[in-house]
């Protein structure tokens, strides 16, 4: 086991109240595994990744739980120890490459900075490593493009640069936050193929954060579905797509456009809106939008049950044989 998150809770203390962006979640990632975390905007996906990396900005704060990397509790590390870990053993591809890259630094300087810091290479060797990793992620004429500034590159190229920066020091865990957002489908496929190839080459684990279930079906080994800061369902990718158990997951899957669907029916849409995080419902956070909601759903929070390795947080599956509450 490479990463273990236990009962993680992350809160934002605002003037109007406290928002639980991540609410008591637990999961693991094994070496070489691609774990996808999916859900709508505001479900807690990105906050989970920032909590793991120790990059939360105020007023965000981890208020509960533990994060273990190789059995080491990250909360016990000093800022200096965390800095040595970040970009070296654990790397992250951030959501917006244009805002994550420094606009006044050349591409090579931004990548070399990390290499020289973590790998202790000379400037000459760091430049050679930079060009090598740019070639690995598919940047054409890498030696020349390394001298470019971010604005001189397309969105797809900037995303490749962000990937190169994250992979430069051969991390064991890569956290990719919406790595294909705002890219056309051809570039999306190239980025996903690149991540998969890097996983195979370096036996690197990937935590893939996305709202796109099409991306998940192509890349992931296992999937976690989040809603309002909670894990609603968890299963291997084939099981989740073939036998979704939570009404929210079913709704997400029904919302995927089908190429072979020639009917005139409108695309399925989950009714209602995500609840106000400052005024969460008493019971299941999805109860107001759920087509199978019961009275109990509005009054009690269902526990996350493990049904033969398939985890689900829903009262519809309370009577399933082999089910046991986990949290």
DSSP string, 147-183: T--GGGS-HHHHHHHHHHHHHTT--SEEEEESTTTT-
Quick one: pLDDT at residue 263?
Answer: 63
Q: Residues 214-239: what's their mean pLDDT?
A: 94
Model confidence pLDDT, tens digit, residues 257-279? 776 666 667 778 888 899 999 99
Residue range(s) occupied by CATH 3.40.50.300 in the chain? 1-89+171-258+265-275
Instruction: Report the phi/psi class of residue 324: left, alpha or beta, with left for phi > 0 and alpha for psi in -120 to 50.
Output: beta
The fold for domain 1-89+171-258+265-275 equals: Rossmann fold (3.40.50)
Most confident listed range (23-32, 89-98, 200-209, 255-264): 23-32
Is the separation of the CB atoms in 74 and 54 below 8 Å? yes
Quick one: pLDDT at residue 32?
Answer: 92
């Amino acid at each position: 086991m490479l990463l273990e998150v236990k009962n993680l809770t992350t809160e934002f203390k605002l003037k109007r109240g406290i928002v639980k962006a991540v609410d008591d979640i637990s999961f693991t990632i094994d070496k070489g595994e691609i774990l996808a975390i999916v859900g709508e905007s505001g479900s807690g996906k990105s906050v989970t990744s920032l909590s793991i990396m120790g990059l939360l900005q105020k007023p965000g704060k981890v208020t509960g739980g533990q994060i273990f990397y190789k059995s080491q509790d990250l909360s016990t590390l000093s800022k200096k120890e965390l800095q040595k870990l970040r970009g070296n053993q654990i790397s992250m591809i951030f959501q917006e490459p244009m805002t994550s890259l420094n606009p006044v630094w050349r591409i090579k300087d931004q990548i070399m900075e990390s290499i020289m810091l973590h790998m202790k290479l000379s400037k000459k060797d760091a430049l050679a490593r930079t060009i090598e990793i740019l070639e690995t992620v598919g940047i054409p004429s890498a030696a020349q493009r390394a001298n470019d500034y971010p604005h001189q590159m397309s969105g797809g190229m900037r995303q490749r640069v962000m990937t190169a920066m994250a992979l430069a020091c051969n991390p064991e865990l890569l956290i990719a936050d919406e790595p294909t957002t705002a890219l056309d489908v051809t570039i999306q496929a190239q980025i996903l193929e690149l991540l998969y190839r890097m996983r195979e080459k370096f036996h690197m684990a990937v935590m893939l954060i996305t709202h796109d279930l099409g991306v998940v079906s192509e890349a992931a080994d296992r999937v976690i579905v989040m809603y309002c800061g909670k894990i609603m369902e968890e299963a291997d990718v084939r099981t989740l797509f073939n036998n979704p158990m939570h009404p929210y997951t079913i709704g997400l899957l029904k919302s995927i456009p089908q190429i072979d669907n020639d009917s005139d029916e409108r695309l399925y849409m989950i009714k209602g809106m995500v609840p106000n995080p400052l005024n969460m419902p008493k019971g299941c956070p999805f109860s107001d939008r759920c087509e199978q909601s019961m009275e109990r759903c509005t009054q009690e929070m269902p526990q996350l049950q493990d049904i033969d390795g398939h985890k689900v947080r829903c009262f519809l599956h309370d009577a399933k044989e082999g089910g046991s509450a986990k949290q």
